[in-house]
Structure 1
Amino acid sequence: MNTAQLSEEANQVLKSHVGYRSEDTSEFSDGHVRIKSIDILDTEINDLQNTDIFDTLHDLYGTPANWQPEQIDEFIKETLKLDEYYLIWVTATPEDAECYADDPENVDEIKIDCKKLMLISDLACDGVLLATDYSWIK
């Protein structure tokens, strides 16, 4: 993985394995609902127009910049050696997460204690999207 181009925020999350998020704006609802990752990828890419996923994967892993969500899904599964994985958005600081919270008091520190982790999107202070084995959610 070529980490030279990572934002300071992405480096902080990857090194500390700690991020921040507000569940009141989450597709995961209470943080424990598991949504198929391909559905989230499709939403991020097609509905939310998050083209950074293509850029981040290309810059870090050398993937083609024109892949479809299904190809990205397979790449993540192969790279993490998992049949299924989960995606989660986190920010590096609670202040950054407060920008997205309906209630700024509703920001949680997330300890990302997983066995497998892969950065999918790096939007710096706007957050990072991580693919994980999700074993750390109890």
Structure 2
Amino acid sequence: MVIETDRLIIRDIELPDGEAFIHMALDGSLNDVGFGKDCSYWMDDWIIEAQNLAREDDPRKNYLAYVIEDKITGSPAGAVGCTFYEDLEKVGITYFIGADFRNNGYASEAIKLYRFYLAQRNQQF
């Protein structure tokens, strides 16, 4: 999947993105999503799992995660995706932004774009 704004690309995750996510985890940016300082040991496995789930493309079955890439730097700025909340029976959007990319409006821009993408696919959330 690839969708874009003027400043961002939301795309499938790739193994080289792991280095940027590991860096974000080291500065504490990913604590809330369970990526601690030891994530370098399992990052490749997580990326492969995320790739497989993206191919299945069923947000009601599993979480989906995509890279938010800054067009200017070409660097991953974070991730956006979705998960199914069984108690609400709805798909909800999930995201994180690395500390180096915060306060630029990237989170809201990525969420709006991804929400539009989901709505086009008739996902209720």
Normalised TM-score (structure 2): 0.38
Point out the structure with the larger strand share. Answer: 2
The one of the two structures with greater contact order (alpha-carbon pairs below 8 A, sep at least 6) is: 1
